[in-house]
Structure 1
Amino acid sequence: MHDPTTNQPDGQTEPAQPRLIPAKRSRFSWIWILPIAAALVGASLVLRNWMLTGPRITISFDSAEGLAVDQTKLRYREVDVGTISDIQVSPDRKGVLVTAQLERDGSEFITQKDTRFWVVRPRLGLSGVSGLGTLLSGVYIGVDAPFEVNKKGEQLDFVGLESPPEVTSGRAGKRYVLTAPELGSLDLGSPLYYKGIQVGQVSSYELNEEGNGVRVQVFVDAPNDKFVTQGSRFWNVSGVNMSLDSTGFNVRTHSLVSALAGGLAFDQMEGEPTDVAQADSQYELFPTQERAMAEPDGPAVELRFHFHQSVRGLVPGSKVEFRGLELGQVYDVDLEFDFERKRFFALVKARIYPQRFGRLYERVVEARPDEKDPMSALFKPMVERGLRGQLRPASLITGQQYIALEFFDKAPEADFDENAKPLVVPVIAGDFDRLQEQVSDIVTKIAAIPFDQIGKNLQSGLTELGQVLKQLDKTTVPQLNGALKSMDAAVQKLGAMLDSDSSFNTSVDQTLSELKRSLRSLRDLSDTLQSQPSAVLRGRSPDVLPEPAP
């Protein structure tokens, strides 16, 4: 067998044959750079969006007026904190459910229990015009979150407000609660004054649990909240206060805002504690400043009055006075029937404050410490001395009346049950009613006069008088004329006798001269008898002549 290697010369080797080695191919293709980069960018965007996106919350409103998906923002202190992502009608169809996507930053303080939401739109309120910026930017949802973060857990479902809150969270100041029988003209935002300066406002109001009054919450801004003390008194300054008294017609108003929209005021009561009040302290809201700053009245006591006369003008709120001092007020007037007397009467119910009797009531309480009802011990001796209730006019213009408790010396005896609850105070007819009775008696007596018979008798007398006058004219008048003529002649003769040249005057002058001389002689005789009484028997002693001087 031929060996190819034997054909080569000795000492030479055959060169190696070239060997094909396949080139190594790269497993990475540059075409994948763009998809990978896009995926990384997308992932980063998703991660960033997840990191920036907060939770979703649902807010219920009455309507979605002005709201739009992906357009309407949620703003906290004018900073966007979320966007509306969905709007649906609520399952009960009584409102709408607005879903909002919050941002991650700040979402922990928004998703709290006391967070409030409302739609910001142009509004006209007591504090002025608000939301005018929404005319250009569109409406948005305002957010008011608690100032302190609640760590008890987040809340995602909320009920939106239909109007902005008057006081937002974080506002420095304190809230106080006022109680009153009715709200009156107060409203949200009504101002609260101290010394004539506005220091707060009404933040909310509601009915109390019993439904017989209201609870008004007011907010006082710092640092003025330090003026609200434990002894502060609050009163209503709403509207215009008009009164008519002995000084004339008085008109008083606190400010134009309070006159139109209501308002409140407060001040410190003298003698009351001056410690600064704590937040949420409760006070009574008085209707007027006079009532608020009056001395404490103590517990009230009910009285009853039975009036058998007209009580027109006596209404709830009419005063009950004793010697001109107000003891209390009437709170009800009813119509009752007395089956024994078979007549109607007015049952007047009143509340008085015994402490307004002053030292008198205190003495009764001190003298009878075991007495359960000091009012009975107080009223019994007073009724025995003539204390009665009487209706009197409070104003002749309006016709209003009040009840006066006064002592009457000639008051008729009346029954008084000291054990009655409440006490029934005896009454007496008013001065006007007694005047009516007197006038009625006079009219009755006048009606009993027989005017017809008197008229007939008067006519008969006048007829007889006419006949007598005719007789006098026929007989007496001629005789009277003759007598007058004779009298005239006598007067003429008397005038002739009194003439200065007549002998009668001469005789009268002589007679008067003789009378003068006689009187002079009598005077001399009287002087002589007075100085020499013995001259009656011995005669008059001779006159002693004066001796000449040496």
Structure 2
Amino acid sequence: MTQQQSAQVRRIRQWSPIWVVPIAAVLIGLWMLYNHYQQQGAMLTLLTANAEGIVAGKTQIKSRSVDVGQVVSVELSDDLTQVIIKARMKPAITSLLNADSQFWVVKPQIGRGGVTGLNTLLSGVYIELQPGDSAQQQLQHQLLDTPPIAPADAPGVRVILSTADSGGLAAGDPVLYRGYEVGTVEMREFDLSTRRTQYQLYIREPFDVLISENVRFWRSSGFSFDLSAEGLQVDVGSATTLLSGGVSFDLMQGWPAGNAVKDGTEFQLFPNKQSIQDGLYSEFVEYLLFFDESVRGLKAGAPVEYRGVRVGTVASVPFFFAIDKPFEVSLQQGIPVLIRIEAGRLYENLSLPQLREELKKAINGGMHAALKTGNLLTGALYIDLDINPEPVIDAEQQSLQQQRLALSDSAGYPTLPTARSGLSNIEQKVLLALDKINNLPVEQLLVQSEKTLQSTDALMQNAQRMVAQLDALVANPQMQQLPGQLQQSLQELQRMLAGVSPGSAAYDKLNGNLQTLDQVLRELQPVLQTLNQQSNALVFAADAPADPQPKRAKQ
């Protein structure tokens, strides 16, 4: 057999130039990878509750319509409560990612400002970046649901409004100064600790100089309609507030402007401008009133007037806070009502001790309160104060006033006498009259009336029978001949009277006899006179009368 020999292997120690190519490729790759990461910006993290319309690798991040980044991933958080969006930003934009930067999704929306985001119907939604001015870099932000009203670095001033009413305003509503739009409502939130709603307002430059410490803010509803005891009040605002509402502010008449305010200054938001005027009267004297009539239509805020001049306000109707057994009090003493006599409504520089002293004198002089109707359409009532120097008070009313005085003293308030209004007096008199009518013996009258009607019926029946008998009597032929006989008798009487009428023979003869008789009587008159003076003149001749003797004149 042929013997095999093993080959001798010798290791070549020379370097081969072929390795230059892969080494160069590796170095170029590493340099390209380093350059790629060097040209990439920071990784941005956005948190949101809903990632509707956002697609990884497609949705762009823009600032002023310029692409500054792109979404690379959209994932749910570990606890599944929110969405985590990661986006790669361009290197030049990294310095703009600070604590004041804001991000929001731009998509088609219809709001109070009109229709926005129509360009995203074809290109898809995108994320808008609004850079901030903070020096602190921050790569994690909350994705806003709605775009911010104004940039955080926008020139102007931001103030906070606080109110107990949670309705009426929303983000985007205008802020008005005497009808001119000077700002916007930026934010609305509810504070659980204070149970009040807070609004953040942005007043843009140069109108921010109008905001001073003495300005007052009120809600502008566009159209307000108030039908109260003071009458009908209609307030129509601008077209903007008529559709969406808003906030108005101004200085009250006669107030100084005061100092300028800083960002974050808090003001109170009033429901309307009238409520601001009512809130100016902070010094007042309270009185407790008791009304023994219906207080329906009397509400808190109703005016208290003295002969047509407003001097106060109704504070509470009814007032049961400091009174024990309120139902028993309402039945016996009347409905308690708390009123305020406001010093500022009378005249300036009137202190509360002076007001109390003057009111005490007025009450001692007969001042009392009464309910009056302020509006016939709504039935709204107000309280009218008047003075009656000589009130008519019986023993029962005096005892009732003493009970009311003791009750008001126990409640910690002075009392003011009350009287019934004119309409209530009329109503009471009408009720008394109805009670008297109700107490009348109506049943006896009805029985007596029934008997009277029966008697009248019997009388009418007798009258009918009498009429029937008269009809029969008239229908008798003999009664029908009676008029002819009466006419004949009258004719005979006429002929008889015609025989003795003037011009007839009997009348002339009778007239001559009467004249002869008259002449005889004249002739017998002297004889009768003589016999009257001397009864024996028929036998003895009568003496001739003596001649008259003149009388001697008196000296």
Same fold (TM over 0.5): yes
1:359-378 aligned at under 5 Å gives the runs 359=348, 362=350, 365=353, 375=356, 377-378=357-358
The alpha carbon displacement at 1:67 in A equals 0.9
Aligned to 1:174: 157
Aligned to 1:123: 109
Amino acid at match of 1:149: S
Aligned to 1:149: 134
Aligned to 2:505: none
Are the equivalent residues in 1 in contact too, given 2:103–2:143 (CA < 8 A)? Answer: yes
Aligned to 1:327: 312
Distance, in Å, in 2 between the alignment partners of 1:411 and 1:133 is 83
Q: Which moved more, 1:387-396 or 1:333-342?
A: 333-342
Q: Deviations over 1:470-505 (max 9, x none)?
A: 9xxxxxxxxxxxxxxxxxxxxxxxxxxxxxxxxxxx
**Equivalent in 337, 340, 352 of residue 348 of structure 1:** 337
Distance, in Å, in 1 between the alignment partners of 2:111 and 2:266 is 27
Are the equivalent residues in 2 in contact too, given 1:316–1:333 (CA < 8 A)? Answer: no
> Is 1:253 equivalent to 2:244 in the alignment?
no
Distance, in Å, in 2 between the alignment partners of 1:411 and 1:49 is 104
Distance, in Å, in 1 between the alignment partners of 2:162 and 2:330 is 45
Distance, in Å, in 2 between the alignment partners of 1:423 and 1:49 is 87
Residues 1:136 and 1:354: Cα distance change in structure 2 (over 3 Å): same
Aligned to 1:429: 420
Distance, in Å, in 2 between the alignment partners of 1:340 and 1:193 is 50
The alpha carbon displacement at 1:458 in A equals 12
Q: CA RMSD in A?
A: 4.1
Amino acid at match of 1:101: R
The alpha carbon displacement at 1:214 in A equals 2.0
Residues 1:451 and 1:264: Cα distance change in structure 2 (over 3 Å): same
Distance, in Å, in 2 between the alignment partners of 1:135 and 1:390 is 69
Q: Deviations over 1:86-143 (max 9, x none)?
A: 222123322212122233323233142x433222211122222222222122112222
Are the equivalent residues in 1 in contact too, given 2:98–2:134 (CA < 8 A)? Answer: no
- Secondary structure, aligned partner of 1:436: helix
> Is 1:188 equivalent to 2:171 in the alignment?
yes
> Is 1:222 equivalent to 2:208 in the alignment?
no
Distance, in Å, in 2 between the alignment partners of 1:240 and 1:264 is 13
Distance, in Å, in 2 between the alignment partners of 1:311 and 1:248 is 19
The alpha carbon displacement at 1:316 in A equals 3.8
Q: Which moved more, 1:401-410 or 1:82-91?
A: 401-410
Residues 1:423 and 1:130: Cα distance change in structure 2 (over 3 Å): farther
Are the equivalent residues in 1 in contact too, given 2:230–2:375 (CA < 8 A)? Answer: no
> Is 1:398 equivalent to 2:378 in the alignment?
yes
Distance, in Å, in 2 between the alignment partners of 1:364 and 1:211 is 32
Aligned to 1:45: 32
Distance, in Å, in 2 between the alignment partners of 1:66 and 1:448 is 85
The alpha carbon displacement at 1:241 in A equals 1.3
Are the equivalent residues in 2 in contact too, given 1:386–1:411 (CA < 8 A)? Answer: no
Amino acid at match of 1:76: S
Amino acid at match of 1:386: G
Instruction: Name the TM-score, length of structure 1 as normaliser.
Output: 0.68
Are the equivalent residues in 2 in contact too, given 1:81–1:106 (CA < 8 A)? Answer: yes
The alpha carbon displacement at 1:183 in A equals 3.5
Q: Deviations over 1:39-94 (max 9, x none)?
A: 45433433333223333232221111111112212223333332222222123322
The alpha carbon displacement at 1:460 in A equals 6.8
- Secondary structure, aligned partner of 1:283: strand
Q: Deviations over 1:302-343 (max 9, x none)?
A: 544333332222234433334431522444536763547865
**Structure 1 unaligned blocks of 5 or more:** 1-24, 368-373, 471-550
Aligned to 2:44: 57
1:393-542 aligned at under 5 Å gives the runs 393-409=373-389, 410=391, 412=393, 413=398, 414-415=401-402, 416=405, 420-450=411-441, 456=448
Q: Which moved more, 1:266-275 or 1:169-178?
A: 266-275
The alpha carbon displacement at 1:166 in A equals 1.8
Aligned to 1:86: 73
Aligned to 1:102: 89
Distance, in Å, in 2 between the alignment partners of 1:297 and 1:90 is 56
The alpha carbon displacement at 1:218 in A equals 1.0
**Equivalent in 242, 245, 251 of residue 268 of structure 1:** 251
Amino acid at match of 1:161: L
Aligned to 2:223: 240
> Is 1:297 equivalent to 2:281 in the alignment?
yes
**Equivalent in 354, 357, 360 of residue 346 of structure 2:** 357
Distance, in Å, in 1 between the alignment partners of 2:224 and 2:331 is 44
Are the equivalent residues in 1 in contact too, given 2:287–2:339 (CA < 8 A)? Answer: yes
Residues 1:163 and 1:394: Cα distance change in structure 2 (over 3 Å): same
Distance, in Å, in 2 between the alignment partners of 1:460 and 1:243 is 62
- Secondary structure, aligned partner of 2:41: strand
Aligned to 1:498: none
Residues 1:217 and 1:232: Cα distance change in structure 2 (over 3 Å): same
Are the equivalent residues in 2 in contact too, given 1:229–1:277 (CA < 8 A)? Answer: yes
Residues 1:28 and 1:340: Cα distance change in structure 2 (over 3 Å): closer
Distance, in Å, in 2 between the alignment partners of 1:329 and 1:246 is 12
Amino acid at match of 2:20: W
Aligned to 2:267: 283
Are the equivalent residues in 2 in contact too, given 1:240–1:251 (CA < 8 A)? Answer: yes
**Structure 2 unaligned blocks of 5 or more:** 1-12, 464-555
Distance, in Å, in 2 between the alignment partners of 1:355 and 1:421 is 23
Residues 1:45 and 1:349: Cα distance change in structure 2 (over 3 Å): farther
Are the equivalent residues in 1 in contact too, given 2:283–2:352 (CA < 8 A)? Answer: no
> Is 1:158 equivalent to 2:138 in the alignment?
no
Identity of paired residues, percent? 26
- Secondary structure, aligned partner of 2:203: strand
Distance, in Å, in 2 between the alignment partners of 1:211 and 1:411 is 52
Instruction: Name the TM-score, length of structure 2 as normaliser.
Output: 0.68
Amino acid at match of 2:345: R
Residues 1:75 and 1:203: Cα distance change in structure 2 (over 3 Å): same
Distance, in Å, in 1 between the alignment partners of 2:352 and 2:339 is 22
Residues 1:329 and 1:457: Cα distance change in structure 2 (over 3 Å): closer
Distance, in Å, in 2 between the alignment partners of 1:212 and 1:253 is 31
Residues 1:223 and 1:40: Cα distance change in structure 2 (over 3 Å): farther
- Secondary structure, aligned partner of 1:46: helix
- Count of matched residue pairs: 439
The alpha carbon displacement at 1:344 in A equals 8.4
